């Protein structure tokens, strides 16, 4: 079924009676990518994370190849009355390749090829009494050539984790979830102190300039300055980066 899905998908989009309800993105996907335009990267920026492949990470002081992904998995029990059960599972991996497919200039799809840790408890993953999760990369899944052995995920589904070798339990490494760049924990903004005075509806840069009016200068003599005007430059950053960015090749 999986091997023939692309053929069924293309025919369904081309001959369906509900063509008006199909978006342009779906139509472009059905046409299959341009095999003559395939790019490969060692680094890729998305969702405020800068991912790197394992080979690119080698020898560096920082680690950007760790990936965590949540997926809803459905399992069906065997028996006379099978029961379907869905649960949200978390998978941990490392990026080994980054590939971009081009749909004739209309659409780009970025895939991460990863090595995935076995999610069997106490085999490839464990949680200690303090709630710290550890994984073991000697126990992997999806390493074969079967249809179910799918090592690729969409880059949009990836989040970053950092793996730290366990010095006590050899072969295991503890993981730490990373926050996106320029993303900060602001707490619950809905809970405000009624006695707290807040400056509202004033742009951040204007608040800064307004505050500087009451800020005393350290030097009283400013005649040697080129200008008596004080220029304030305030960098503007988004709280969370959502756009995809590609590093220079």
Domain boundaries, the chain: 1-32, 33-177
- Burial label for 158, CB within 10 Å (0-12, 13-18, 19+), is buried
CA separation, residue 243 to residues 44, 45, 176 (Å): 12, 9, 24
The per-residue pLDDT for 215 is 38
180-203: average pLDDT: 50
- Residue 5's pLDDT band, with cuts at 50, 70 and 90, is confident
The per-residue pLDDT for 181 is 72
The per-residue pLDDT for 45 is 94
The per-residue pLDDT for 3 is 74
The per-residue pLDDT for 197 is 37
Distance CA 13, CA 89 (A): 31
Helix (H) or strand (E) holding 207: helix 204-212
0.75 exceeded by pTM: no
Phi, psi of 7 (to 5 degrees): -70, -45
Single out the residue of 54, 33, 173 nearest to residue 104, CA to CA.
Answer: 33
- Are 103 and 33 spatial neighbours (Cβ–Cβ below 8 Å)? yes
pLDDT in tens, 38-81: 999 999 999 999 999 999 999 999 999 999 999 887 777 777 78
Question: In terms of pLDDT, which residue wins out, 120 or 214?
Answer: 120
> Does 176 score more than 90 pLDDT?
yes
Name the CA radius of gyration of the chain, rounded: 26
Distance CA 218, CA 130 (A): 50
Length of the chain: 249
Distance CA 52, CA 61 (A): 13
pLDDT in tens, 223-249: 443 433 333 333 333 333 333 333 433
The per-residue pLDDT for 221 is 42
Collapsing DSSP states into helix, strand and coil, what is residue 55? helix
pLDDT in tens, 16-35: 878 778 888 898 999 889 98
Beta bridge partners, 50, equal 45
């Amino acid at each position: 079924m999986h091997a023939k899905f692309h053929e069924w998908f293309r025919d369904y989009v081309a001959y369906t009676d509900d063509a008006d309800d199909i978006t342009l993105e779906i139509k472009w996907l059905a046409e299959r990518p341009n095999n003559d335009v395939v790019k490969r990267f060692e680094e890729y920026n998305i969702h405020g994370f800068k991912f790197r492949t394992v080979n690119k990470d080698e020898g560096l002081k920082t680690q950007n190849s760790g990936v965590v992904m949540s997926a809803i998995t459905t399992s069906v029990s065997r028996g006379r009355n099978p029961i379907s059960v869905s649960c949200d599972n978390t998978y941990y991996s490392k990026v080994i390749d980054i590939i971009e497919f081009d749909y004739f200039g209309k659409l780009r799809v970025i895939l991460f090829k990863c090595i995935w840790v076995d999610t069997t408890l106490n085999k490839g993953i464990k949680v200690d009494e303090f709630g710290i999760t550890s994984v073991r990369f000697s126990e992997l899944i999806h390493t074969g050539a079967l249809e179910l052995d799918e090592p690729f995920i969409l880059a949009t589904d990836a989040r970053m984790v950092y793996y730290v070798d366990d010095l006590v339990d050899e072969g295991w490494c503890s993981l730490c979830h990373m926050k996106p760049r320029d993303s900060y924990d602001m707490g619950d903004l809905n809970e405000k102190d009624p006695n707290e005075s807040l400056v509202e509806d004033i742009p951040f840069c204007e608040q800064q300039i307004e505050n500087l009016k009451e800020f005393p200068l350290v030097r009283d003599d400013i005649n040697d300055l080129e200008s008596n005007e004080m220029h304030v430059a305030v960098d503007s950053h988004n709280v969370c980066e959502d756009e995809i960015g590609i590093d220079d090749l």
